[in-house]
Amino acid sequence: MTKIVSHWIGGKAAEGASGTYGPVTDPATGEVTTKVAFASVEDVDAAVAAAKEAYLSWGRSSLATRTSILFKFRALLDAHRDEIAALITAEHGKVHSDALGEVARGLEIVDLACGISVQLKGELSTEVAGRVDVSSIRQPLGVVTGITPFNFPAMVPLWMFPLAIACGNTFVLKPSEKDPSASVRLAELFSEAGLPDGVFNVVHGDKVAVDRLLAHPDVKAVSFVGSTPIARHIHTTASANGKRVQALGGAKNHMLVLPDADLDAAADAAVSAAYGSAGERCMAISAVVAVGAIGDTLVEKIRERAEKIKIGPGNVPTSEMGPLITATHRDKVASYVTGAAAEGAEVVLDGTGYTVDGHENGHWIGISLLDRVPTTAAAYRDEIFGPVLCVLRTETYEEAMDLINGSPFGNGTAIFTRDGGAARRFQLEVEAGMVGVNVPIPVPVGYHSFGGWKDSSSATTTSTATTARTSTPAARSSPPAGPTRPTPRPASTWASRATTEPPGPHPARPGPYPPPRSRPGRPCTTDAVHGGPSVHPGRSPGSVSGRHRDARSDAYG
């Protein structure tokens, strides 16, 4: 009997009422291993209703309660990282080491969520008008949702829901239907950590589920990662329905190599960044721009390294690159390679038609390297999302910058050079959200923002960006709590109080207070409250001022 991946609604598995399912395949074999339930409009409504009900208590829970559960979730996630990585490899196809790295990057955001109290600290201004204090705080929105892609089935959801839930929101996740099991396992672990039912929900499906989430009146904010056309649809639809939106789109990430660069280091970086995870990542380097006379040497170094990559099933320890997610996607990637020569490119390595012995029906494609690619070629214009690297040539740095900034995408980019001045100039002039200097994939750590420019993004994610998007500032004006404040007194009286007790009634304490310190050469003005003499200019020793009698009365009730 085929296993069914169910939804997670209200703290338990729920198959839903639609009766519609989608296949989940093992990319290494091409075999259908499970099927996933597709949500109907009613199923989505049930998940949102569960989240809305849970928000009534979760939104008012203490930070201590939330962070305690997050710490437990973090420990469980760490303990089960191998299990989750195995689920990713089985459904996505990436090699196990890549899957482990994905879980590790997700854990970084859970770490950040565990310290959410720092990001949620408010501000206070006292006595802004008479006896009025004004405070600024952040409050949760309510039900928020995340729509995530197939290429990082654990990491991208972990970018979204831990921070949103830490802020006091409840969450409905719609992961990719191609590799859904990791998200459900995350929900189970979160529940095991003590998360109340309904705070985190998972629904699977296609456009029906997505469009219902975008239109649902109880969903207050939407986060999305995926292709640019769908990102535009998400942004337009959700915004029209009055929701806060963050939508990360596609990319065409360039790596600029200057003539003074270490070409061995540049070639190593290009190979790992272009072919890691089979190129199925938005931060992959898909275009290398070689400046000056280094092009031939650089291409040869890349070719030598790329040919040595071991392709095979992700669960085989010696494999360095796995298959693509589906046969349809494999065929689309191959079409860019087969059409490149007709568009004027030189095919240095052709990965089409690649197979793995014993796994002939898998979604395999080999390494492809295209040189002297025209900017008009589809292989350069489009986001391929596969193991295809384009090399372009320019004579000068300025030509290279015009080429890079002429791309409609602006996600990430990198420069390889030994010249610090050139690196600084590049960082200031390039039109991209994330820039690496001799770093091929400039993904920031979790407490910095992640996001691109132009067609690559409408907003950033992780870090304070998620906190700001899933919470709202609120100003509060009110008189201070507690008894009426005393009328301010002369400085000498307040100095007297500072050495004994703060203003206000206090219970008597046994025994005398320790003797107060006085300035050298000056009698202490607080002797009155200890029964001793108080000496003031113009007064004889032993006289006690009316102010100090008040002080004694206030201090001892």
What CA–CA distance (Å, rounded) separates 297 from 303? 10
Using DSSP, state whether 434 is helix, strand or coil. Answer: strand
For 375, the token pair is 């900017």
Look up residue 407 and give its two tokens. Answer: 């791309």
CB 356 within 8 A of CB 312: yes
Bridge partners, residue 371, by sequence: 346
Q: For residue 217, what are the CA distances in angstroms to 212, 350, 432?
A: 10, 50, 34
SS (H, E, C) 382-407: CCCCCCEEEEEEECCHHHHHHHHHCC
Cα separation, 234 vs 457, in Å, equals: 12
Q: Which of 149, 303, 120 is nearest to 223 (CA)?
A: 149
User: What radius of gyration, in Å, describes the C-alpha atoms of the chain?
Assistant: 31
Sequence letter at residue 303: R
Are 99 and 315 in contact, with CB atoms under 8 Å apart?
no
- The residue from 167, 282, 390, 524 that is catalytic is 282
Q: Which residues is 497 bridged to in the sheet?
A: none
Q: How many CA atoms lie within 13 A of 159 on its CB side?
A: 29
282 catalytic residue (yes or no): yes
Around Cβ 143, how many Cβ atoms within 10 Å?
29
Q: 289-308: b or e for each residue (b if 16 or more CB lie within 10 Å)?
A: bbbeebbeebbebbbebbee
- Give the Cα-Cα-Cα angle 141, 142, 143 (nearest 5 degrees): 125
The CA distances from residue 297 to 204, 309, 341, in Å, are 48, 20, 21
Cα dihedral: 169, 91, 274, 342 (round 10)? -120
Q: What does the alpha-carbon distance between residue 499 and residue 514 come to, in Å, rounded to a whole number?
A: 10
Can you list the positions of beta strands (E) in 184-292? 200-202, 219-225, 244-248, 253-257, 285-291
Token pair recorded at residue 551: 């002080």
CA distance 497 to 526: 8
Residue 301 CB partners (closer than 8 Å, separation 6+):
263, 264, 266, 267
Structure tokens at 235: 């942004």
Structural contact between residues 125 and 480, judged by C-beta atoms closer than 8 angstroms: no
**Using CB atoms within 10 A of its CB, is residue 472 exposed (0-12), middle (13-18) or buried (19+)?**
middle
Q: Which residues pair with 38 in a beta bridge?
A: 20
Tokens of 430: 């390039």
For the annotated catalytic residues, the residue numbers are 282
